[in-house]
Homo-oligomer: A and B are copies of this chain.
Amino acid sequence: MKALIIAAGNGERINHITDGKPKPLLDVLGLTLIERAILSAKKAGINEFVIVLGYKGRAIKKYLGSGEKHNVKIEYVYNREWKKENGVSVLKAEKAVGETFVLLMSDHIFDYRILQNLIKKSRSKCILCVDRSPDAYIDMEDATKVRTDGKKIIDIGKDIKKYDAVDCGIFLLNKEIFKAIKESVKRGETSLSAAVKILAKNNKIEVFDIKNLFWLDVDTKKDYVQAKKLLLKNLIKQTDGPVSRHINRKVSTALTKLFLKTNTSPDTISLISLFLSVISCHFFVLGNYFSVILGGIMAQLSSIIDGCDGEVARLKFKETKSGAFFDAVLDRYADTLIIFGMVYGFWTLTGNLLVWIAGFFALSGTLINSYTSDKYKAEFCKPFVSRKMPVGRDARCFIIMIGAFLNQVFYTIVLLSIFTHIENLRRAGFVKLKNLNPGGIKKKI
């Protein structure tokens, strides 16, 4: 299935911040708006695109080319009448798209899962994605409102008074849309909404609720600022521990913006994080209070930057399994080095041999801690999520920093040792108990 992307308009309300480029080429956290549309669709499983160009179309075509850079196929259609409303742009692509296709706007950002869910739907009717509870940042004055009755559309337009949903600018369409546009153009109406109204009258379109997934039409500078906020907010992962969620992500997303500007690759960031752990180890080995504090700060910084590689990868649609694997292996070495530094430094300073025993079990607890969560994912093919006592790398590094500030290296190691092992045993028990009754008779085949 192809995706049709409308990139013909002149985006006059935002042109003052685009440096003379057309709006689809506006950079939002390392990717242009239109690249975000393309790569979101690609992540949802779509690899062929038709882009309708108009205002400054040549610049867009020059920038995207045939799509090779993003490993997709792009065709272009020109709409000389781009000053008319967007229905005309869709009509120009009639011959370029197949029986059914997805329609996207080049200036909307959205969660790729909206599209992923949409293309699973039956393709017998056209479908318009709607948001039934739009967030406060959606500009309701400019939004296309929809009045629905269940899945049916009763009315649609920017100026209707009664409505219960907002048009998200994401469609699953078939050839019926072209008939409808032609009909509405004859009547002198060139907007897509006018055509949708005709489809609705003939019972040829339904709405699809996007639920709580995000989308945003980037029309103004305010929207642009909001778009960046939204994308960063959506980097928080379900598996994030409390320290990561409430502290690290706030710093890491700020750093991620920097990494995006300098075009640093996720793997390089993983290596920077490991390097900070090496420095942390070095400071801990020195053993004196001042060094220990620096060691603690470096450990926490390493943990924070450890979040950036994934953030950059997700924001640039460059997430790879091998990248995640590489990062995870480096993290385990970072863990090893930091604990080794603490043990070695404390031992040379005090000669207390107990720290080796405590360190041995802190290391074991720490590594088995990571092991259990990934072993769980390996066996059950879903991440281990538990809100009760989520002990991950974020919590461990944070505790190490606090311990360093308090100059309590030994007790920090003992604490790490105790609480990682308790968590590991809890996980083993949790999995055993939860799976004592693995469900009744399986479904029929």
Residues of chain B within 8 A of A267, CB atoms compared = 432
A405 at the interface (CB under 8 A from B): no
Partner of A440 from the list B48, B71, B379, B424 (CB cut-off 8 Å) is B71
A442 at the interface (CB under 8 A from B): yes
Partner of A329 from the list B321, B368, B370, B442 (CB cut-off 8 Å) is B368
Q: Is the CB of B73 within 8 A of A320?
A: no
Partner of A432 from the list B322, B361, B374, B376 (CB cut-off 8 Å) is B322
Interface size for A (C-beta < 8 A) is 59
A411 at the interface (CB under 8 A from B): no
Cα(A309)–Cα(B131), bound, Å = 52
Residues of chain B within 8 A of A427, CB atoms compared = 329
Q: Is the CB of A361 within 8 A of B378?
A: no
Cα(A375)–Cα(B367), bound, Å = 12
Per-residue CB contact flags for chain A residues 361-404 toward chain B (1 = under 8 Å, else 0) read: 10110011011101111111100000000000000000000000
Residues of chain B within 8 A of A317, CB atoms compared = none
Interface residues of A in 1-46 (CB under 8 A from B): 1, 45-46
A136 at the interface (CB under 8 A from B): no
Partner of A333 from the list B329, B368, B375, B440 (CB cut-off 8 Å) is B368
Interface residues of A in 327-367 (CB under 8 A from B): 328-330, 332-333, 336, 340, 343-344, 353, 356-357, 359-361, 363-364, 367
A150 at the interface (CB under 8 A from B): no
A435 at the interface (CB under 8 A from B): yes
| Minimum distance in angstroms from A443 CB to a CB of chain B | 9
Partner of A343 from the list B329, B360, B374, B444 (CB cut-off 8 Å) is B360
Partner of A368 from the list B325, B332, B360, B441 (CB cut-off 8 Å) is B332
Residues of chain B within 8 A of A376, CB atoms compared = 325
Cα(A72)–Cα(B442), bound, Å = 9
Report the copy number of this chain in the oligomer.
Answer: 2
Partner of A445 from the list B1, B321, B322 (CB cut-off 8 Å) is B1
Partner of A371 from the list B356, B367, B431 (CB cut-off 8 Å) is B367
A119 at the interface (CB under 8 A from B): yes
Partner of A374 from the list B45, B48, B375, B444 (CB cut-off 8 Å) is B375
Cα(A182)–Cα(B84), bound, Å = 75
Residues of chain B within 8 A of A45, CB atoms compared = 442, 445
Q: Is the CB of B441 within 8 A of A326?
A: no
A428 at the interface (CB under 8 A from B): yes
Q: Is the CB of A445 within 8 A of B119?
A: yes
Partner of A441 from the list B71, B360, B364, B367 (CB cut-off 8 Å) is B71
| Minimum distance in angstroms from A239 CB to a CB of chain B | 12
Residues of chain B within 8 A of A374, CB atoms compared = 371, 374-375, 378
Cα(A378)–Cα(B329), bound, Å = 13
Q: Is the CB of B320 within 8 A of A435?
A: yes
Interface residues of A in 251-300 (CB under 8 A from B): 267
Q: Is the CB of B381 within 8 A of A381?
A: yes
Task: Using A371-B367, A375-B329, A428-B326 as known contacts, say yes or no to A336 and B361 having CB atoms under 8 A apart.
Answer: yes
Residues of chain B within 8 A of A226, CB atoms compared = none
CB-defined A-B contacts under 8 Å, sample of 22:
A1-B445, A47-B442, A321-B379, A322-B431, A322-B434, A322-B435, A324-B379, A325-B372, A326-B428, A326-B432, A328-B371, A329-B371, A329-B372, A329-B427, A330-B428, A333-B364, A343-B360, A344-B357, A353-B356, A360-B360, A375-B378, A378-B378
